[in-house]
Amino acid sequence: MTSAEDHADLWARRAASFGAQASAYAEHRPDYPAEAIKWCLDPLESTPLRVLDLAAGTGKLTAGVVALGHHVTAVEPDEQMLSELVRRNGGVRALPGTAERIPVPGGTVDAVVVGQAFHWFDQTRALAEIARVLRPGGVLAALWTGDDHTVPWVADYLSAVWGVDGDPHKIGSSGGPAEIMPQHEMFHDQETARFAHRQRRTPETLVATLRTHSGVATLPEAERLALEAKALDFLRSREETRDGFDLPLRVMVKRMVRV
């Protein structure tokens, strides 16, 4: 294989790795702060809104949007993830589909939200398809959550486990924030906001979260186990994380409005 083919193969394997971790993903991944979700929908005045949660996973973002009183349609390509979403959010309309082929009629939703997934999309095809399903004036918003490495112990943890360049929480493994959700002729008024968040953790539950990340789930088992052991040793060695603790998080949101 060429290096490009190797990269494409690894990217495909990582994208397909989430289903096997659906239960752990639902149990251990963080939710989204209500203020971040509200900011996503701020340009829209009517309520309740018709919101499409695209690449909805197990419904982490779906649950937050529903809690604010909106009507949600969840679209997710992985059958195991979608089943977990339905199990935990039984009243939500849930459909199999992808960002490049969204199974809803054109102009029928007020907002499309994407949690922790936009970097997996074919950007050009996805933006055109999202524009198709949004009504004029509708909103597209994407959210990414990562560890807050400005906190000293968090920075030490990331360095100890991943090294300088190995953090799997980096926004958009396929590119930096500027390349994710780029400007598009069907959208305007792009804005970015950041929100602080926290998740209650123990050393064991934080380590259990590691394998829900595609970069860890696709490692050979011996490497994955060694990585998890290194993380657990670090967390048990620090006063800040020896028992139950709050993991500081940062949520970045990018928002655009459909012309």
Q: pLDDT value at position 22?
A: 87
CA torsion through residues 204, 205, 206, 209, sign? positive
Q: Which two tokens stand for residue 164?
A: 């300088």
Q: What pTM does this model have?
A: 0.88
Q: Which two tokens stand for residue 57?
A: 């996973």
Any idea which of 47-51, 107-111, 162-166 has the lowest mean pLDDT?
162-166
Distance separating the N- and C-terminal Cα atoms of the chain: 43
Which alpha helices (H) appear in the chain, and where do they start and end?
Answer: 3-15, 22-28, 34-41, 60-67, 79-88, 123-133, 152-162, 203-210, 214-217, 221-237
Distance of alpha carbon 74 from alpha carbon 71, whole angstroms? 10
Q: pLDDT value at position 192?
A: 97
Report, at the CATH architecture level, how domain 3-148+167-201+247-258 is classified.
3-Layer(aba) Sandwich (3.40)
Kindly provide the residue ranges of all beta strands, DSSP E only, lying in 2-92, ordered along the sequence: 50-54, 71-76
Classified as helix, coil or strand, 20 is helix
Residue 10 has pLDDT above 80, yes or no: no
Any idea which of 143-157, 186-200, 207-221, 229-243 has the lowest mean pLDDT?
207-221
